[in-house]
Structure 1
Amino acid sequence: MNFGIVTGFLLMMLIIGILKRGKSPDIVNYYVGGRSKSVITVTGSLVATAIGGSATIGLAGIAYSKGAPSVWWLFSGSIALVILGIFWAGKVREYEVFTLPEILEKQYGHSSVKIVSSLVIVIAWTGIIAAQMISAGKIMSNVLPGHYKLFVILCALIFITYTVLGGQNSVIKTDLFQSLLIFTGITAAVISAFIKFGPLNMSQLPAGHLDFPVNGQLGFTEVFMFFMFVGTSFLAGPDMYSRILSAKDKKTAQKSVIAAAVMISVFAILIVAAGLYARMIAPGIEAESSFQYLIVNTIPSGLQGVVFAALLAAFLSSADTCLLTSGIIVTNDIINPLFFKNRLNDTVKMAATKLMIVILGAGSLVIALYVNQIIKSLLLALTVYTSGIILPVVLGFYRERLKINYYGATAGIISGGAASIIMKYFMYDKFLIYIFPAVFAVIIITSIITSE
C-alpha cells in the first residue's frame, strides 16, 4: 500500500509538472515564470526549495546525533532570509534579469564575474542535486527495501522530465503543492510520536541533548559554521534569487522572502523534534535513518505512505529548482556569452537549456549512485559555493561605496572556491572559519591594486 501511495505521488508530480508548464513557452516564462508569481506561490516555492534532503533526513540525523542545537542549521537560513527580505530582495527583483550571475554582472559591469561565478555555482549545485537524489533513494528504499539505486534513477528521471518540459512554471506549481504536503507529513510524524511516547524525556536522551542554544556536541564554533556555510547560502543563493526574480513585483518579493523565513523556522523545530524522538525511542540506529524509523514506528501503516510521499516531495522540490537553475546558468551565463557572443535567439537558448538540464541531471545521478552520505555531499557543495560567491554578491550592493571592482570580485570568487576545495580535500576544516575574512581581504586588496 505504501509503495502504491508513493508511486502515485511521483506520477502526480509528473502530471502536474506537464499540465502547469504554461501556455506561452517563451524564454521569460521558462526561466522566471513570466515574472508574475504571487506571494503565496513564491513563498511556497521558497519553502519547498529550502526543505530538501538536508533539512529533513539530514537535519533529523544531526538532531539524533548532536541534540537540540542542530536547529540552528535551518534557523541560520531563516535569519538570513529575514535580512535578505528587509535589505536586498527588492533590489534583486528590480534587476529584471534571469540569474544570480547576471546580477553580479550588473553589479560590477563586466562579464568575467558572471562567467566565473556561473562555473562555481554549477559545480556546487551538481553536488546539491545529487544529495537530493540520495535522499529520495533512501526514502524509497524504506518503502520497498533492496532497490536503492533503481529508485534513485526513477526519481531522477521523473523530476528531470517535468523540469525539462515545463521550466519555471512547472517547478513553481509543483513546489506549492509539495510545500503543503511536506508540512502535513512532518507534522503528522511528530504528533504521532508525541501521542505514542509523550513529551521528550531528558532521562531517555544523552546528557545535554536538550540543552540550547549550544551543548557539548554543538558548541558556538559549530553553530557559527552553520551560519557561515548554510545560512549565507540563503542570503545569496541562485535558487532563492530565481524565486525572487519570478515574483510579480518588488513588494511581492520582499513579503514572500520574510514569510518563507517564518515558515522555515517552524519546519526546523518540527524536524529536530523528529530526530530527538527517534533518539529517545531507538538510540542504536543510523542517524540518517532516524526520520524513516520514526515514520515506520509511530504512524499507522495506512498513513505511512502519505508521510513518505511528503518526504519525497521535500527532496524533489529542492532538486528540480537546483537543476533548472543550473541548466539556465550554463546556457544563459556560460555558453551564450562565451561561445556565441550573446547572439543566441530565445528559441535556441530554450532548447540548449533543456539539453543542459538533461546533461546536468545525468551528471548528478552518477554522483548520487556512488556517494550515499547526504550531509557530506551537501556540506562540500555549500562550502565551495558560499566561500566563493556570497561576499562578492553582498558587497556588490555597495560596490561604489566600498570602491570594489570586477577584478576584486573575480579574484574573491576564484580564491574562495579554490581554497575551500583544497581545505576540504586535505581535511583542514578547522581553518574554514577564516575563509570569509581571507576572501574579503582578497577582494579589497585586488580592487585597490587594480583601481584606475
Structure 2
Amino acid sequence: MQNMILNLYIVGILIVGIVSFRRIRGSEDFFVAGRKAGTLEVTGSLLATILGSSAILGSVNFAFGNGWAGAWFMLCASLGLTILYPLVGHLKRFKGYNLPGLMETFYGKEVKILASVIIPIAWTGIVASQIMGASKIIGVYTGLSYTHGIWISGLVFIAYTALGGQLSILKTDFLQFILILLGVVACFFYTSANFEITSSAPIINDSFGYGDLIIMVLTYSTTFFVGPDIYSRVFCARNEETAKRSILLSIGVLLPLAFILAALGVYAANIFPDLNIGEKSALMHLATDVLPRPLTVVLYFGLLSAVISSADTTLLTAASTFTQIFTGDLKERKAITVTRVFIVIFGLLSILIALKLQFILASFFLALAIYSGAFIIPCLLGIFGYRAHKSYVIAAIVVGGATALYGKLLGGGNANYYIILAFILNSAILSIPIVKRGSFKFKKPA
C-alpha cells in the first residue's frame, strides 16, 4: 500500500511537469512563469522553497540537540524576508531572469559569468541536501534503502524540473506548502497533547550562543534578501504589490512555524533522550514511534512535498545560471534546451554528492557559506546603486567565497571566524574604489 501511494504521488508530479511542458511558449514562461504569478502562487512558492528538508528536518534535529535554539532557522529566514521587503521595488524594475543577470547590470558581463559558475557549484550541494532528505523520508515510509531512495527522488526531481521549468514549479508549490503545513502542524498538536516538555535549553544557551547566531544571520538570513531562489520568486510575481504581499504573508507563517518545529525537536529530546539523530532524524522517529498511522502518512507526504518544492527551485536556479555562460542571455529560445541539459547534469552530480555525503546540514551550510561570503555584499551594494570596476568586484567575490569555504572545510570552533573574515575581506576590497575616489559612486538603479 505504501509503495502504491508513493507511486501515485510521483506520477501526479510528473503529469504536472508534462502538462506544463506543453504550455511553455518561450523563455519567459520557462524561467519566470510568464511574470504572471498571483499572491497565493508566489506565497506558496516562497514558503515551499524555504521549507525544504534542510529547514524542517534540520530545524527539528537542531532543536533536539540545542533546545529552543532550533527556532532560529525560521526566525532568521523571517528576518531575511523582512529586509527583502523594501528591496522589492528595485528588483521588480529588473527585467532579467536571475541573480547573475542582475549582477551584470551592476558590474558587467565578466561578473555575471563568475556568478554563473560559483552559484551552480554551491547550489548543487543544496540540491544534494534535499535529495538526502527525500531519501530518508522514502526509506522510513517504504523500507527502501538509502541508495534506492536517492536515485528515485533524484530522478523525479530532474524529470519534473526539466519538463516544466518554473511553470510546473509554481503550479504545485502552493499545494505542496499546504501538505507541509498540515503534516507539521498535525504532528505538533498530537505530540503536545500527549507529552510534556520536562527540560529544554533556552533559545540562547551554552551550545548556541550569540556568536553562533551572528554566523547564522550572515550565512542564512542574508540569502533571503540576496538569494537566487528567493529572487526567482519575486521575478515571477505579476507586480511589485503582489511580491510584497507574498513576503508579508510568508513572514506571518514562518514566525509561529519556527517555534512549532523547535517544539517538535524538544519533545523528541524528552521522549527519546538516547536517540542518535545521525542515523535517523528526530522528526522521522516521532512519526514512526509516536504518531498514529493516518497522521504519519500526512507527515510523510508533507515532508516529501517540502523536499520536492525546494529541490526543483534550487535545481532550476543552478542550471539556468550556468546556461548563461554558453548562451549569454536566457531570453534566447535555445536557452531552454541548454538549461534542460544542465538540469540533468547538475541533478546527477547532486545524486552522487548525496550518495557520498549523508549529513543534510553539513551539505546545506557548506553551500550557503560559499555563496554568502562571495555574493551578499556585492549584490546588496549593487541594488542600492554602488558601482565599481569589475576587477574589484571579481576579487571581492573570489576572496570572500574562498575564505568562507576554507573556514567550513577547516571545521571546529575557528570556522565561524573565517566566515566573519570573509565578509570583512569582501567589504574591504569593495571599499578600495571609494577610498581612491574619496566618495561613493552611486548610480540610480534602472
Distance in 1, Cα, partners of 2:10 & 2:267: 28
Pairs within 5 Å for 1:180-329 = 180-197=178-195, 199-202=196-199, 209-212=200-203, 214-287=204-277, 289-329=281-321
Give the aligned partner of residue 205 of structure 1.
Answer: none
Give the aligned partner of residue 102 of structure 1.
Answer: 101
Q: Deviations over 1:14-48 (max 9, x none)?
A: 22232244624311000100000001100100000
Distance in 2, Cα, partners of 1:449 & 1:361: 45
TM-score (norm: length of structure 1): 0.92
Letter in 2 for 1:103: L
Q: Is the 8 A contact 2:34 2:236 kept in 1?
A: yes
**Deviation beyond 4 Å, 4+ runs, structure 1:** 446-452
Give the aligned partner of residue 143 of structure 1.
Answer: 141
Q: What is the CA distance between 1:285 and its match in structure 2? A: 1.0
TM-score (norm: length of structure 2): 0.93
Change (3 A) 1:306 1:6: farther
* Count of residues in Structure 1 that have an aligned counterpart in Structure 2: 434
Distance in 2, Cα, partners of 1:10 & 1:279: 33
Q: What is the CA distance between 1:434 and its match in structure 2? A: 2.7
Partner residue of 1:335 out of 303, 322, 326: 326
Distance in 1, Cα, partners of 2:272 & 2:12: 34
Q: Identify the range of structure 1 (281-290 vs 310-319) with the bigger mean alpha-carbon deviation.
A: 281-290
Q: What is the CA distance between 1:93 and its match in structure 2? A: 1.4
Q: Is the 8 A contact 1:71 1:269 kept in 2?
A: yes
Q: Does 1:436 align with 2:423?
A: yes
Q: What is the CA distance between 1:104 and its match in structure 2? A: 1.0
Give the aligned partner of residue 422 of structure 1.
Answer: 406
Q: What is the CA distance between 1:281 and its match in structure 2? A: 0.5
Q: What is the CA distance between 1:262 and its match in structure 2? A: 2.0
Distance in 2, Cα, partners of 1:350 & 1:336: 10
Q: What is the CA distance between 1:301 and its match in structure 2? A: 1.5
Specify the SS of the correspondent of 1:399: coil
Change (3 A) 1:7 1:210: farther
Give the aligned partner of residue 14 of structure 2.
Answer: 14
Q: What is the CA distance between 1:326 and its match in structure 2? A: 1.2
Partner residue of 1:408 out of 363, 368, 392: 392
Pairs within 5 Å for 1:380-395 = 380-395=366-381
Distance in 2, Cα, partners of 1:217 & 1:411: 35
Q: What is the CA distance between 1:152 and its match in structure 2? A: 1.0
Give the aligned partner of residue 444 of structure 2.
Answer: none
Distance in 1, Cα, partners of 2:21 & 2:403: 40
Letter in 1 for 2:89: G
Q: Does 1:357 align with 2:343?
A: yes
Q: Is the 8 A contact 1:22 1:169 kept in 2?
A: no
Instruction: For structure 1, list consecutive stretches of 5 or more residues without a partner in the other structure.
Output: 203-208
Q: What is the CA distance between 1:168 and its match in structure 2? A: 0.3
Distance in 1, Cα, partners of 2:22 & 2:144: 38
Change (3 A) 1:22 1:92: farther
Change (3 A) 1:443 1:167: same
Distance in 2, Cα, partners of 1:42 & 1:30: 16
Q: What is the CA distance between 1:80 and its match in structure 2? A: 1.0
Specify the SS of the correspondent of 2:23: coil
Q: What is the CA distance between 1:252 and its match in structure 2? A: 1.1
Q: Identify the range of structure 1 (268-277 vs 387-396) with the bigger mean alpha-carbon deviation.
A: 268-277
Letter in 1 for 2:217: F
Letter in 1 for 2:230: M
Change (3 A) 1:2 1:279: farther
Q: Is the 8 A contact 2:70 2:261 kept in 1?
A: no
Q: Deviations over 1:339-375 (max 9, x none)?
A: xxx5x87332111111111111111111111110000
